[in-house]
Chains A and B, each alone.
Chain A
Amino acid sequence: MRTEISIKNTKSKFLDKVEELSGENIYACYQCGKCSAGCPSISEMDISPNEIIRLVQLGEEKEVLNSKAIWICASCFTCVTRCPKGVDLAKIMESLRQITLRKNVDYVNPLSISKEVLSQVPQIALVSSLRKFSS
């Protein structure tokens, strides 16, 4: 399968939105991979963080928004402190989550959390996860 790339990708509303919400220049990333190399959550991610940016650069909206990676990102800021180009990847990840959340799609539904989980997970984790993953 060939991926068609055109001006529609590179000048897409999606790309504009990500830049608007995050305040970051997506094209500033030069794909060195240092963010992915140091990410503590990388083993749980389906798409590595640098590839997320690459896909945004290529305007691949669906693939990015459907990824697990953007929800697994814990906003720990390891990548932010280490990025040689000063790209704030945590902001970009947040903007990608926001694009979904602002469509009024909850990524976590309080009612679907099992009692077992509720009894084990610390309260603060529940609060922050609901704040971060629901609209």
Chain B
Amino acid sequence: MSRIGVFVCHCGLNIAGTVDVEKIAKLISDYPGVVYATDYMYMCSDPGQDMIKEVVKEKNLDGVVVAACSPTMHETTFRNTVASVGLNPYRCEIANIREQCSWVHQENKKKATEKAVKIIEAIIEKLKLDKSLIPLSVPITKRALVIGGGIAGIQASLDIADSGYEVVLVEKNQSIGGHMLQLSETFPTLDCPQCIATPKMVQVGQHPKIKLLAYSEVEEVSGYVGNFKVKIRRKAAFVDWDRCTGCGLCMEKCPVRVPSEFDELLSKRKAIYTLFPQAVPNKPVIDADNCIYFTKGKCRACEKNCSVKAIDFEQKDTFVEEDIGAIIVATGYDLMNKAEISEYGSGEYEDVIDGLQIERLLCPSGPTGGIPYRPSDGKIPKEVVFIQCVGSRDPEHYYPYCSKICCMYTVKQAMLYKHAVPDGQAYVFYMDIRCNGKGYEEFLQRGIEEDRILYLRGRVSKVFKDRDKIKVWGADTLTGRKIEISADMVVLATAMIPSKGAKKIAEKLRLATDDYSFLTEAHPKLRPVESLTAGYFLAGAAQGPKDIPETVAQASGAASKVLSLFSKDELSHEPIIASVDEEVCVGCGSCVSICAYEAIELDSLTKKARVNPAICEGCGACSAACPSGAMQQNNFNKRQILEMVDAFTKD
């Protein structure tokens, strides 16, 4: 016969206001197998826990039921409580009489009380069949993989490497730096992003603990937290980086000129190129799609001029495999393509540019040396219209979310434009101005008061060409007027979306994403840097639109999560997982195909399902799918479930 104790929590009035807790405790004390039952104001408080401990010892309990809130709240608390007095923690169960009873049945106290009794009885039946379980120990590889070499990936890598652990940093471009290196200046301090980011980039390049794999992409990830195997494709650069000295002569001699992606198509680059002068690593790659030798079979000008013979047209993609314990995904963002918006010219007007293009025009190291000559004719624009919320906050056509950074970068861009063209005028069409950061509101007011940026509250309905002007039709809802401005240049603050390829990576890593392919965090408030899958952490705009300070903070947060993982020598893994009764299993494979974690395989010899306990997350999908009943979840087996149903449905 069991010796079970039941502890009913009032949770203030959360439970006791609806459910008659004293009555329940009395009724339950007569239930078969129960040797003690009581109620208390707050079971989770120290006195509440002490009471449980005392009773476990005094009555020599072999099981505890705490009737309280959802197990997601305090299951760990109470399991630790009973474990501290020698009871196996898996012999402690939570009967949820708050979320599943008192909160939803406030209108009928009598029935709520009856239901609470049934919930507790069902849990008692389950507990009677619960096994004492011991958590598994899994070894851990203390090496981190960081995907994406923008400011998020850079910060996370440095934090982990500085703590003494090895980091493999994978970047798809030939240099780390990301979008931050494209920017003109940064709000709200107007300091130069190159000045503050390049020292960090150099640190990454020089760090003995960081293995930087630039011009590379993650090909495949297998394994589980603490023990990932990662296959990485090192794309053919057609340049032997070990030999290359980064002298740049090849780039000088290359006759090809194609639009530069780094300059957002506002300048030309060569077919052999680096992204920018401070690149890390400062090594070029050949763009085979545009190289004359690759397309027409002749030229090799770069090869002829390379004194160290680093050019290698025969180079092929190679693969490396890395053992990794934790992965940080920092794949960043892109801007929505302005060509998608027909009312703003479908991307056909040269002088209607997007947020990153104006950054390049205003950047002192950009293609125009920081003077915003307009793309069509190189004239200095005297009137510039900035349009915010382009594609953002537009659930009907594009994206319902706020891109968060545009309000601030628009002030900054309008301000820098005024600094470059003091006799010019900047107009900003906005819906709301969101300056939710330290010093941000003050920065906005400075832009309006000192640089006299004219803010007009309304969306722009149409942008069209009128000789050498761009006509802008908008509204100022403050005065109820329809506004027309003949602008020389228009800047669209287009929506922030996950970077190209982020979706593919999320699929490869089997990470959850939202409707727009931003990575989903484990909890929106309390676990913002973890993914739902153990061992994966999120940093930067890959998780949602955010600015540089927030990105850096999240990156450091993700790094500290990795470090806390690495602080242990073994990982403890929850034992409530699937297990197979090999006598019953017929090897049909239903469980193998349904497992989202690839934790089950069929043994090649016996043709029986085999669960890898380190990977199994205990979701229960396999035991539900198993037609023979061979696959059972520990402490949630079929008999337990049926006993619970019986207890719940008996009169």
A positions within 8 Å CB-CB of B:
1-7, 10-11, 25, 27-28, 30-31, 51, 54-55, 57-58, 85
The answer to whether A5 and B448 touch (CB under 8 A), given A31-B478, A57-B454, is: no
CB atoms of A27 and B449 under 8 A apart: yes
- The interface bits of chain B over 122-153 (1 if a CB of A lies within 8 angstroms of the residue's CB, else 0) are 00000000000000000000000000000000
CB atoms of B425 and A3 under 8 A apart: no
Task: Specify the chain A residue showing the minimal Cβ separation from B456.
Answer: A5
How many angstroms from the CA of A25 to the CA of B484 in the assembled complex? 25
Given contacts A6-B485, A58-B454, 6 further A-B pairs with CB under 8 A are A2-B473, A4-B485, A5-B427, A5-B456, A6-B383, A10-B454
CB atoms of B483 and A2 under 8 A apart: yes
CB atoms of A55 and B473 under 8 A apart: no
How many angstroms from the CA of A10 to the CA of B482 in the assembled complex? 17
Point out the residue from B452, B473, B479 that lies within 8 Å of A58, measured CB to CB. B479
Check: B486 CB closer than 8 A to any chain A CB. yes
The interface residues of chain A lying within 8 Å CB-to-CB of B427 are 5
Check: B296 CB closer than 8 A to any chain A CB. no
CB atoms of A3 and B449 under 8 A apart: no
How many angstroms from the CA of A2 to the CA of B478 in the assembled complex? 15
Query: In the complex, what's the smallest C-beta–C-beta distance from B415 to chain A, in angstroms?
Result: 13
Task: Specify the chain A residue showing the minimal Cβ separation from B382.
Answer: A7
How many angstroms from the CA of A85 to the CA of B479 in the assembled complex? 20
State the majority secondary structure of interface residues on B: strand
The interface residues of chain B lying within 8 Å CB-to-CB of A51 are 478-479
The interface residues of chain B lying within 8 Å CB-to-CB of A58 are 454, 476, 479, 481
Task: Specify the chain A residue showing the minimal Cβ separation from B424.
Answer: A7
Query: In the complex, what's the smallest C-beta–C-beta distance from A132 to chain B, in angstroms?
Result: 27
Query: In the complex, what's the smallest C-beta–C-beta distance from B123 to chain A, in angstroms?
Result: 56
The interface residues of chain A lying within 8 Å CB-to-CB of B457 are 31
Q: Can you give 14 A-B contacts (C-beta < 8 A)?
A: A2-B481, A2-B483, A3-B481, A3-B482, A3-B483, A4-B485, A5-B427, A5-B485, A7-B424, A10-B452, A25-B449, A27-B452, A30-B448, A51-B479
Task: Specify the chain A residue showing the minimal Cβ separation from B426.
Answer: A10
Task: Specify the chain A residue showing the minimal Cβ separation from B383.
Answer: A7
Check: B445 CB closer than 8 A to any chain A CB. yes
How many angstroms from the CA of A57 to the CA of B428 in the assembled complex? 14
Task: Specify the chain A residue showing the minimal Cβ separation from B472.
Answer: A5
- The interface bits of chain B over 441-460 (1 if a CB of A lies within 8 angstroms of the residue's CB, else 0) are 00001001100101011000
The interface residues of chain B lying within 8 Å CB-to-CB of A27 are 448-449, 452, 454
Task: Specify the chain B residue showing the minimal Cβ separation from A60.
Answer: B479
Query: In the complex, what's the smallest C-beta–C-beta distance from A83 to chain B, in angstroms?
Result: 14
How many angstroms from the CA of A56 to the CA of B44 in the assembled complex? 62
Task: Specify the chain A residue showing the minimal Cβ separation from B385.
Answer: A5
CB atoms of A55 and B449 under 8 A apart: no
CB atoms of B484 and A5 under 8 A apart: yes
Q: Which residue, A5, A11, A30, has most C-beta atoms of chain B within 10 A?
A: A5
How many angstroms from the CA of A42 to the CA of B523 in the assembled complex? 50
CB atoms of B425 and A10 under 8 A apart: yes
Task: Specify the chain B residue showing the minimal Cβ separation from A15.
Answer: B452
How many angstroms from the CA of A57 to the CA of B448 in the assembled complex? 11
Point out the residue from A5, A10, A30, A57 that lies within 8 Å of B483, measured CB to CB. A5
How many angstroms from the CA of A6 to the CA of B454 in the assembled complex? 10
Q: Which residue, B424, B427, B479, B484, has most C-beta atoms of chain A within 10 A?
A: B479
Task: Specify the chain B residue showing the minimal Cβ separation from A55.
Answer: B479
How many angstroms from the CA of A7 to the CA of B452 in the assembled complex? 11
Query: In the complex, what's the smallest C-beta–C-beta distance from A28 to chain B, in angstroms?
Result: 5
Query: In the complex, what's the smallest C-beta–C-beta distance from A69 to chain B, in angstroms?
Result: 14
- Interface set, chain B 416-445, CB cutoff 8 A to A: 424-425, 427, 445
Task: Specify the chain A residue showing the minimal Cβ separation from B444.
Answer: A30
The interface residues of chain B lying within 8 Å CB-to-CB of A10 are 425, 452, 454
How many angstroms from the CA of A109 to the CA of B456 in the assembled complex? 40
How many angstroms from the CA of A1 to the CA of B473 in the assembled complex? 11
Task: Specify the chain B residue showing the minimal Cβ separation from A57.
Answer: B454
The answer to whether A11 and B425 touch (CB under 8 A), given A25-B449, A27-B452, A57-B454, is: yes
The interface residues of chain A lying within 8 Å CB-to-CB of B478 are 31, 51, 54
Task: Specify the chain A residue showing the minimal Cβ separation from B453.
Answer: A27
The interface residues of chain A lying within 8 Å CB-to-CB of B456 are 5
- Interface set, chain B 475-505, CB cutoff 8 A to A: 476, 478-479, 481-486
Query: In the complex, what's the smallest C-beta–C-beta distance from B456 to chain A, in angstroms?
Result: 8
The interface residues of chain A lying within 8 Å CB-to-CB of B425 are 6-7, 10-11
How many angstroms from the CA of A1 to the CA of B481 in the assembled complex? 8
Query: In the complex, what's the smallest C-beta–C-beta distance from A61 to chain B, in angstroms?
Result: 14
How many angstroms from the CA of A30 to the CA of B447 in the assembled complex? 12
The interface residues of chain B lying within 8 Å CB-to-CB of A85 are 445
Query: In the complex, what's the smallest C-beta–C-beta distance from A56 to chain B, in angstroms?
Result: 11
The interface residues of chain B lying within 8 Å CB-to-CB of A25 are 449
CB atoms of B484 and A3 under 8 A apart: yes
Query: In the complex, what's the smallest C-beta–C-beta distance from A86 to chain B, in angstroms?
Result: 11
The interface residues of chain B lying within 8 Å CB-to-CB of A28 are 445, 448-449
The interface residues of chain A lying within 8 Å CB-to-CB of B473 are 2
How many angstroms from the CA of A4 to the CA of B471 in the assembled complex? 10
Query: In the complex, what's the smallest C-beta–C-beta distance from B107 to chain A, in angstroms?
Result: 42
